[in-house]
Amino acid sequence: MKATEVGKKSTTKNADDVRGKTIFFFGIVGMLLFGWIIFPLFIYEQVDQPIQFSHRTHSGDNVALKCADCHSFDKDGRFVGIPAVSKCAGCHSHTIGASGEEKRLVEDYVIKNREIPWVVYSSQPENVYFSHATHVKLGKVDCISCHFGHQYTDRLRPAMFSRISGYSLDVFGSTLFDVPSTPSTGMRMDDCAGCHSKHGFKETCIDCHK
C-alpha cells in the first residue's frame, strides 16, 4: 500500500472520529437543553388570576397598609389566608380610581357579594403542614423573608402548575441549580430546613409532616 493511501485513510479516520465526537457532544447538550429548559415549558400549565391586583398601590413604601391588614389571623392564631371580598369592600364599596380592574372588582364581586376565585400560587402537598402564625407571631419572621419583593409588584403573574404532579412551580422553584449557600426561589423542604438550621431550630419530621 502506498504511503499516500495510508495517509488518506488516516486522515479520513481522524475526520470521522472528530465528526462522531462532535455529534455526540451536541447530542448530549441538546438533550440536556430539552430536558431542563424546553420540556418544563410543556409540562407546566399557565393559569391566570381572575382579576389583576397591584400590591405596590396597596402596600408600597408610601402606603400605610401592612400585610396583616389584609392577610390576617383569626382569634386562635390561625392564618385566614386570602382576604374575603368583604375585606376589599371596606375600601372599595364603590370605584375610587380609574383602573378598569378595580371597576371589575366592584361591579363583579363587591356589589354582587361574590368571592373572588383567586388562584393559590404555593399550595403545598396534603402531607405538609405549615403554620404562618408560628413563624410570624412566635418566630417574628417578616413576610418578605419568604415572599421576597411581592409587596412591590404591580400585577399578579400567572400561576404555573405541573400537568404531571399538579404542584405549583412556586413550590418547586424556578432555579434549576440551587446552590446550598444561595436562597432558593421556591418553597421546598431544603429551604425550610436550611432556614431552621440557620436560626438554630431543630425540627423533627412530624413538625411539618402530619
Residue 198: exposure state from Cβ atoms within 10 A (0-12, 13-18, ≥19): exposed
Cα 199 from Cα 197, distance rounded (Å): 5
Which amino acid type is present at position 173?
G
What's the pLDDT at 181? 43
Q: Model pTM?
A: 0.70
User: Quick one: DSSP state of residue 36?
Assistant: I
Q: How many CA atoms lie within 13 A of 204 on its CB side?
A: 2
User: Across all residues in the chain, what is the average pLDDT?
Assistant: 80
At 79-116, the pLDDT tens digits run 777 889 999 999 898 888 888 999 999 999 999 999 99
Q: Is it the case that residue 191 has pLDDT exceeding 70? A: yes
At 41-75, the pLDDT tens digits run 778 888 999 999 998 888 766 667 888 888 888 77
What's the pLDDT at 145? 78
What's the pLDDT at 179? 47
Domain ranges within the chain, ordered by starting residue: 1-44, 119-210
What's the pLDDT at 180? 46
Least confident of 19-33, 59-73, 132-146, 165-179: 165-179
Q: Is it the case that residue 27 has pLDDT exceeding 80? A: yes
Q: Is it the case that residue 175 has pLDDT exceeding 80? A: no
Region 5-26: mean pLDDT is 70
Phi, psi for 45 (deg, rounded to 5): -100, 135
